[in-house]
């Protein structure tokens, strides 16, 4: 029997954590320690210590899409006379639909508009309307929380441009409010339907992301800002970045499935995604990395009599054991440090 005590047979999974790998190592402490070099002789094979960046990754499944859908109800009174088609992108000031052949444009904001606004009123909703008017080029107003005569004048000009009656009073049903530009996901209403509260359409954001349902047990592997490589259905790869990591666990879809958290990966170059939507993809998450470190194959490690670890350094026709400290495990290699360990050092490995 070879007196070298193998740490691991085969390659440690790419996503193995350092702690998990240590458990594997510690599980072998009871094996026979290596004999002194004078007795053991040379190992059957050698490998070279390399200086490199060690990257720990996790492979997961994801789906490319535009995110969750938000419904839009038709407001006001009248008849629906125009609707966009699925896939249409609508920016600030553009029509979301038409009621009585008059446009109902998109305003950008986070606060639902809930009341008529007129001169003398104050509030965050006033600022939201003024911000949109200013962004659309209506000048002469100060963007603040007060609906002044200047605000009313800008609203009148905006109403005139849309073909509405110029009142200077802002009607919240005259616009659709959304956090940003929207992409129409589905249209529920039909031309000729009566306006006034029924579901009109649903929308998503305009940027595609990759959604990952990550098992809760793996949540320590990800954090906002880490890099990822996305493999598309045609085998092309694109680069992404983890944008958000959910904090609320979602029960598994099937009995026995582990709970998951939602992870969102953004892709800066949207053109690389082609026309993909709701497409399954493979995602390699970079969970950790260390740069400029010495590494050896995991199989080069030996369990020493004191329970620590070492490598068999080979010099010419002789060898000796060098104790080492362990760092990250990844891609079948392990980070080591110790006296006499340098780039190019030859260490013994099983044949």
* pLDDT value at residue 14: 27
Instruction: Tell whether the model's pLDDT for residue 29 goes beyond 80.
Output: no
Do 70-204 and 18-56+290-349 have the same topology in CATH?
no
State pLDDT tens for residues 247-301: 899 898 888 889 999 999 999 999 999 999 999 999 999 888 899 999 999 999 9
If you ran DSSP here, which 8-state letter would residue 55 be given? Answer: E
Look at 3-12, 87-96, 125-134 and tell me which has the smallest mean pLDDT. Answer: 3-12
* pLDDT value at residue 8: 32
State pLDDT tens for residues 58-101: 899 999 999 889 999 999 999 999 999 999 999 999 999 999 99
* pLDDT value at residue 17: 32
DSSP strands (E only) in the chain: 45-48, 50-65, 70-73, 80-82, 89-90, 95-99, 102-108, 176-178, 182-187, 199-204, 209-215, 227-231, 237-245, 260-266, 279-297, 302-303, 309-315, 318-330, 333-337, 346-349
> In angstroms, rounded to a whole number, what is the distance separating the alpha carbons of residues 25 and 75?
66
DSSP strands (E only) in 151-190: 176-178, 182-187
> In angstroms, rounded to a whole number, what is the distance separating the alpha carbons of residues 333 and 152?
69
* pLDDT value at residue 288: 86
All structural domains of the chain with their residue ranges: 18-56+290-349, 59-66+207-287, 70-204
Instruction: Tell whether the model's pLDDT for residue 20 goes beyond 70.
Output: no
> In angstroms, rounded to a whole number, what is the distance separating the alpha carbons of residues 68 and 183?
11
Q: Which fold has domain 70-204?
A: Muramoyl-pentapeptide Carboxypeptidase; domain 1 (1.10.101)
Which class is 59-66+207-287 in CATH? mainly beta
Q: Which fold has domain 18-56+290-349?
A: 2.40.420
State pLDDT tens for residues 145-169: 999 999 999 999 999 999 999 999 9
State pLDDT tens for residues 180-214: 999 999 999 999 999 987 899 999 999 999 999 99
Q: Which has the closest alpha carbon to 313: 331, 328, 290, 296?
A: 296
Checking DSSP bridges between strand 102-108 and strand 176-178, what pairing results, if any? parallel
- Tokens representing 71 are 């419904």
Torsion of CA 83, 84, 86, 90, to 10 degrees: -140
Q: What percent of the chain has pLDDT over 70?
A: 89
Q: Which has the closest alpha carbon to 122: 105, 146, 142, 100?
A: 146
More confident residue, 223 or 8: 223
Which H helix or E strand runs over 154?
A: helix 149-162
* pTM of the predicted structure, to 2 decimals: 0.68
Q: How many helices (H) and strands (E) does the chain have?
A: 4, 20
Exposure string for 90-99, b = 16+ CB within 10 A, e = fewer: bebbebbbbb
């Amino acid at each position: 029997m070879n007196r070298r005590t193998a740490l691991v047979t085969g390659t440690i999974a790419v996503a193995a954590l350092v702690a998990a790998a240590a458990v594997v190592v510690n599980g072998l402490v009871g094996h026979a320690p290596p004999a002194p070099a004078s007795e053991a002789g040379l190992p059957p094979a050698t490998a070279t210590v390399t200086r490199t960046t060690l990257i720990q990754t996790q492979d997961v499944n994801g789906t490319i899409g535009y995110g969750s859908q938000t419904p839009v109800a038709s407001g006001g009174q009248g008849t629906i006379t125009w609707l966009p088609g699925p896939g249409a992108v609508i920016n600030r000031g553009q029509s979301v639909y038409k009621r009585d052949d008059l446009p109902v444009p998109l305003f950008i904001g986070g606060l639902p508009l809930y009341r008529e606004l007129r001169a003398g009123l104050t509030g965050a909703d006033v600022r939201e309307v003024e911000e949109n008017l200013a962004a659309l080029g209506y000048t002469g107003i100060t963007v603040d929380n007060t609906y002044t005569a200047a605000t009313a004048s800008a609203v009148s000009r905006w109403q005139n441009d849309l073909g509405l009656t110029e009142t200077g009073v802002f009607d919240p049903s005259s616009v659709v409010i959304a956090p940003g530009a929207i992409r129409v996901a589905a249209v529920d209403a039909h031309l000729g339907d009566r306006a006034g509260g029924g579901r009109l359409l649903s929308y998503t954001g305009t940027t595609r992301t990759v959604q990952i349902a990550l098992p809760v047990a793996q949540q320590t592997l990800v954090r906002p800002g880490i890099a990822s490589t996305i493999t598309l259905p045609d085998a092309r790869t694109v680069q992404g970045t983890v944008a958000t990591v959910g904090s609320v666990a979602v029960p598994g879809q099937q009995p026995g499935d582990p709970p998951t958290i939602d992870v969102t990966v953004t892709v800066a170059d949207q053109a690389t995604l082609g026309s993909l939507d709701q497409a399954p993809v493979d995602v390699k998450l970079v969970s950790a990395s260390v740069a400029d470190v010495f590494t050896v194959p995991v199989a080069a490690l030996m369990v020493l009599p004191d329970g620590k670890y070492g490598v068999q350094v080979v010099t010419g026709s002789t060898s000796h054991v060098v104790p080492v400290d362990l760092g990250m495990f990844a891609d079948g290699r392990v980070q080591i440090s110790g006296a006499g360990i340098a780039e190019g050092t030859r260490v013994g490995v099983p044949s």
